[in-house]
Amino acid sequence: KGLRVSDKGFLNTAVIQSEITYIDGEAGVLRYRGYPIEELAVKSSFLESAYLLIYGSLPTSEQFRIFETEVLHHSIVHSEAEDFFGSFRYDAHPMAMLTSAFAYLGSYYSEANPSLQGQTLFTKGNAASLANMDKQIFRLIGKATTLAAMAYRVRQGRDFVTPPTGLSYTGSFLYQMDHLGEENYVPHPVLVKALDVLFLLHADHELNASCTTVLQTGSSLVDPYSAIAAGCASLYGPLHGGANEAVIRMLISIGSPANVPAFIEAVKKREKVLSGFGHRVYKTTDPRSYIIRKTADEVFKITGTDELLQTAMALHDAAMKDEYFTKRRLYPNVDFCSGLIYRAMGFPMDFFPVLFAVPRVVGWLAHWRQMMLQEGGVKIWRPRQIYVGSGKREYVPMAERA
């Protein structure tokens, strides 16, 4: 009663006030806590930006030292997790494993579950409660890379690698993924830096489907591990975390730069979609795509280029010049190049959503923390529907039904 409007897809529904990320889709602006993404990508690092997103300001060197130490310290997972990963089929999708692993992790830390411990577990102005919250944040960011690397290695039938000491967050991640027992192995610094930039760019994008899922789940006061698992499940879907994989599949189907004009014509006839172009919010070039393009150039200098890359560049240039796309304000988004970089770095396509989820844990946690600490406490998210089903009906016993 009294409900008149339904907002399918939440195109025009704001459910929360937020101080975290600002997007102006018309102007192509993205800022974390007020800082332009272009500036952070050049001057900051993924972990520093993670601190910024979660706590609201850039850390002092001492604050950063503690944050980095805690996150890296918490990257080690219980040895029982090896049995957990070992129980998956050899061809399990890495996102299915990662999603389950976050929920599994929660089973170790019931002290983080407000629904078990009482509603005031995470409360503003209570030092013990804030410290408890920080600990879960360190654990989730620290263990995200370890769980992701375990999901990667179990599929290759390789032993798991304990997180190393002395490497950065992304350095440790690449080490855990790629280390094959070589003595003094360190991942290539250019690739470590490229992954750090990609992680920074993917750390948050305000209330997308997965972030909304984390908040909706967290609003029941469940533990943050379960809420992050729910976010992961949402990101798994092809409409959210799968677009960069779709770009690679599209480029493989095009085959070579010579076939680009025919593909463009097929898109214009609506027989095909140009994956990696267009965005619900950005009606100009996604600001992240400029930075990604630069990062791609640096990575390709190390990994070399191939026909797929040349096809990608020919497609990009053709679409940018074509009135069909410019008139509809279809410009490259973050996914056009990210999949190309991940592919060049040797990651399989179905691992791409994992590479999106790991840094996005930071954004999910920033929003979750903000919601838990908001004035007046958390209100459970319970939207309404407009019922359009039948009116009251008589139950007919099965034997009498036609």
**Closest residue to ligand CMC using C-beta atoms:** 278
Active site residue 335: yes
CB-based contact 195:170 (threshold 8 Å): yes
- The interface region with ligand CMC, picked from 25-33, 162-170, 176-184, 326-334 by CB under 6 A, is 326-334
| Closest to 212 in 3D by CA, of 13, 57, 7, 1 | 13
Which residues between 196 and 255 bind ligand CMC (CB under 6 A)? 205, 243
Phi and psi for 219 in degrees, rounded to 5?
A: -70, -15
Rounded least distance, CB 293 to ligand CMC, Å: 15
Residue at token pair 């601190």: 51
Does the footprint of ligand CMC cover residue 139 (CB under 6 A)?
A: no
Rounded least distance, CB 277 to ligand CMC, Å: 4
Query: Rounded distance, CA 83 to CA 78, Å?
Result: 10
Which residues between 99 and 138 bind ligand CMC (CB under 6 A)? none
Does the footprint of ligand CMC cover residue 335 (CB under 6 A)?
A: yes
275 or 303: CB nearest ligand CMC: 275
Contacts of 88 by beta carbon, 8 Å cutoff, 6+ apart: 96, 97, 154
Query: Rounded distance, CA 134 to CA 112, Å?
Result: 11
104 or 325: CB nearest ligand CMC: 325
Does the footprint of ligand CMC cover residue 274 (CB under 6 A)?
A: yes
Does the footprint of ligand CMC cover residue 334 (CB under 6 A)?
A: yes
- The interface region with ligand CMC, picked from 32-40, 61-69, 266-274, 289-297 by CB under 6 A, is 266-274
Site string for ligand CMC, 275-314 (x = CB under 6 A): xxxxxx----------------------------------
Contacts of 159 by beta carbon, 8 Å cutoff, 6+ apart: 153
72 or 260: CB nearest ligand CMC: 260
75 or 99: CB nearest ligand CMC: 99
221 or 354: CB nearest ligand CMC: 354
| Closest to 107 in 3D by CA, of 130, 84, 137 | 84
- The interface region with ligand CMC, picked from 56-64, 306-314, 332-340, 344-352 by CB under 6 A, is 332-340
Query: Rounded distance, CA 231 to CA 99, Å?
Result: 8
Query: Rounded distance, CA 287 to CA 334, Å?
Result: 8
Count the site residues for ligand CMC by CB under 6 A: 16
Query: Rounded distance, CA 228 to CA 239, Å?
Result: 19
Query: Rounded distance, CA 65 to CA 67, Å?
Result: 6
**Both ends of the chain: CA-CA distance in Å?**
35
Rounded least distance, CB 75 to ligand CMC, Å: 26
Rounded least distance, CB 272 to ligand CMC, Å: 8
The single residue of 74, 179, 279, 316 carrying the catalytic annotation is 279
Rounded least distance, CB 156 to ligand CMC, Å: 28
269 or 401: CB nearest ligand CMC: 269
| Closest to 311 in 3D by CA, of 261, 265, 273 | 261
Query: Rounded distance, CA 401 to CA 245, Å?
Result: 49
Q: Please give the torsion angle defined by the CA atoms of residues 238, 244, 250 and 251, in that order, rounded to the nearest 10 degrees.
A: -170
Rounded least distance, CB 243 to ligand CMC, Å: 3
DSSP-assigned letter for residue 59: P
237 or 346: CB nearest ligand CMC: 237
Helix, strand, coil distribution of the chain in percent, nearest 5: 60, 5, 40
Q: Which residues bind ligand CMC (CB under 6 A)?
A: 205, 243, 267, 273-280, 328, 330, 333-335
Catalytic residues: 279, 335
